[in-house]
Structure 1
Amino acid sequence: MKRTSALLLCLLLPLVAAPTLAQGRDAEAPIEVEADRLDLDDRAGTAVYTGEVDIRQGSMRLTGDRVEIQRNAQGQLSRAIATGERAYLEQQPDPSEPMVRGWGRTIIYHVAERRMELIDRAELHQGGDTFDGGYLEYFLDRRVVQARSEGEGVEGRQRIRMTLQPEQ
């Protein structure tokens, strides 16, 4: 049990220390994880949480039926993959900006790039703007959205829909 706790701490420490995971204040916040089960493989650099997973750190929240956290060879968090009927990711890129919220059957968060992929029944909200489609890719720092009606992992064609609010 003591070894498992130490391994878990080693796996999650990069979340706390990596400012690329979230904005500066998020990176300094504690990580809170709730799940029914954890399967940790320190050698492979993975932690798999299952059962109504809810991970929070500052303004960042990631939920799903299953969430896999992956580390790179340097031990830094590289990706978080959430799956479920309605996986969810939210983060406030900057205190002066609105919360970014995303849904999909699969969400892949690429930490170093601060990029999220929302796959299958994808939905993205930022402020009053909304995007829906089969596949959405969002770059948090550049505020770039790329959308497609079809893509790998997407069941059937899901046309792209947008609602953009007028500039104030």
Structure 2
Amino acid sequence: MIRPPFTPLLTLGIIALLLGSAPTLALEGDASAPIEVEANRLDLDDRAGTAVYTGDVDIRQGSMQLTGDRVEIRRNDQGLLTLATATGDRAYIEQKPAPDEPMVRGWGRTIVYHVAERRIELIDRAELHQGGDTFDGGYLEYFLDRRVVQARADAEGVEGRQRVRMTLEPEQQDGQ
């Protein structure tokens, strides 16, 4: 199979947009950190604006990590990343918002990252850990900039209800 010489650069550019598009949330060095991608297969369709990685996919840049059995990255006509979707038995996303804040971690059978909106959807067996707080349910939505969580017991296309559960850690007061 003959690939145009720009294909690897385009792929890395798409990933850079995915992982480096959030400098206000991520650690300052994340956007300039090297991008590491591991997968068993890559199918790139430049005209459709998609890159599909399959087989134990692991994408990392700085403190951000996105994993799944399959990760699809979509971009618009201007070449800007619009959507990243990770699927698998337990797809995973994590990022450290700031040096003094704990890692934010999320799981689900499907994870959808809406880049422009800076919003993450965790679907089916969804779980989010933010500091000492945990959220579980059929569907969780996390707004990165506002650090807002919305949860539901059911998700579209998912059979059965997965009740929303939360564990909230109390604020620690000085001297305790």
Among 40, 43, 48, the alignment partner of 1:39 is 43
Tell me the TM-score normalised to structure 1 length.
0.92
Tell me the TM-score normalised to structure 2 length.
0.88
**Amino acid across the alignment from 2:7:** L
* SS of aligned partner of 1:53: strand
Q: Is the 1:70–1:79 contact (alpha carbons within 8 Å) kept by the matching residues of 2?
A: yes
Q: Provide the rounded CA distance (Å) in 2 between the counterparts of 1:162 and 1:5.
A: 49
Question: 2:21: which partner in 1?
Answer: 20
Among 73, 76, 90, the alignment partner of 2:77 is 73
The size of the alignment, in residue pairs, is 168
List, as ranges, runs of 4+ consecutive aligned residues in structure 1 with deviation greater than 4 Å: none
| 5+ long unaligned stretches in structure 1 | none
Query: How big is each residue's C-alpha offset from its partner over 1:7-33, in whole Å with a ceiling of 9 and x where there is no partner?
Result: 231133144367434524211111111
Once the two structures are aligned, what percentage of the paired residues are identical? 74
Q: Is the 1:93–1:141 contact (alpha carbons within 8 Å) kept by the matching residues of 2?
A: no
Among 114, 117, 120, the alignment partner of 1:116 is 120
| 5+ long unaligned stretches in structure 2 | none
Q: Provide the rounded CA distance (Å) in 1 between the counterparts of 2:133 and 2:8.
A: 38
The CA RMSD over aligned residues, in Å, is: 1.7
Structure 2 residue 140 is the aligned partner of structure 1 residue 98: no
Among 125, 130, 138, the alignment partner of 2:129 is 125
Question: 1:49: which partner in 2?
Answer: 53
Indicate the structure (1 or 2) with the bigger Cα radius of gyration: 2
Query: How big is each residue's C-alpha offset from its partner over 1:10-68, in whole Å with a ceiling of 9 and x where there is no partner?
Result: 13314436743452421111111100111000011100000000000111100100000
Structure 2 residue 159 is the aligned partner of structure 1 residue 155: yes
Q: Is the 2:14–2:73 contact (alpha carbons within 8 Å) kept by the matching residues of 1?
A: no
